[in-house]
Amino acid sequence: MRFLTFNLRTLTALPIAAVLALGIGAPAAHADDYSRMNATELEQAVLRAQMPKTLGSWSQNYYFSENDARFTRPTLCWNRSGDVKLPNSKNMGSVGYAVGSNGSSSVTIYQYADQAKAQAALTAMKNNRCADNPIVMTDGGDKVKAESGSDFTDDSLTGYVAGVTYKQDDKMLFDNIYTTQRGLAIVQTRVTRWVDAPMAMKQQQDTVSKLSAVNKSWHANAVRAYENFGQGNSR
């Protein structure tokens, strides 16, 4: 089954837990090389990739960064065993958003140490094994069956989109994730929404289509913000 959506509430909650680790400094105008950003430049690149308000007003969580291996493996999609993850990156920078009363999202840049490791991540993305009916973990720790869809975003095979839909308690949860490899980084945007169940199939399909369209547009802007920041074209 090819339809696009995906679980993000856990990820967008992480910035709150990382508040004490934040550092405050003068914003960088741009990076000398977007493929090799220092901590300040990475933060500025992430914060410039701001979510649009297409799905409604949002509040932005604190920026956070990590080099802990628990957080530095991008989730690409899902299979019968759970999350399909790419290889560990050197570090990551991320910011999450609370969207209205029933949605969340995040933008994350994962940086790899060198070209060989970035290439390994891209190769893993090209050789992934996603499932149309994966098993996902709910917030309560239960494993449930879901419906999912995934595909490359273009012929270059450097971008990927995946989504998942499943029932959790009295809600239908929709998640959508876009992933692109650029330079030494993986750029990722994720959008999630939960809606009261039951839902007619047409309503589910409409929700999937809207989330994917919004995320596609946001993701393209996020990749441009990342590239422009390293070329001195950012504001």
Per-residue H/E/C for the chain: CCCCCCCCHHHHHHHHHCHHHCCCCCCCCCCCCCCCCCHHHHHHHHHHCCCCCCCCCEEECCCEEECCCCCCCCEEEEECCEEEECCCCCEEEEEEEEECCCEEEEEEEEECCCHHHHHHHHHHHHCCCCCCCCEEECCCCCEEECEEEEEECCCCCCEEEEEEEEEECCEEEEEEEEEEEECCEEEEEEEEEEEECCCCHHHHHHHHHHHHHHHHHHHHHHHHHHHHHCCCCCC
The pLDDT score that the predictor gives to residue 59 is 95
Type of residue at 145: K
Region of residue 201 (left: phi > 0; alpha: psi -120 to 50; beta: else): alpha
Class (C level, CATH) for 9-229: alpha beta
Residues of the chain falling short of pLDDT 70 = 1-35, 230-235
The pLDDT score that the predictor gives to residue 73 is 97
Type of residue at 144: V
CA–CA distance, 136 with 166 (Å, rounded to integer): 8
Bridge-based pairing state of the strands 143-145 and 135-137: antiparallel
Q: Considering the entire predicted model, what is its pTM?
A: 0.84
The pLDDT score that the predictor gives to residue 7 is 40
231 Cβ contact list (under 8 Å, min separation 6): 30, 34
Pair of tokens at residue 175: 């998640």
The answer to whether residues 54 and 219 touch, using CB atoms and an 8 Å cutoff, is no
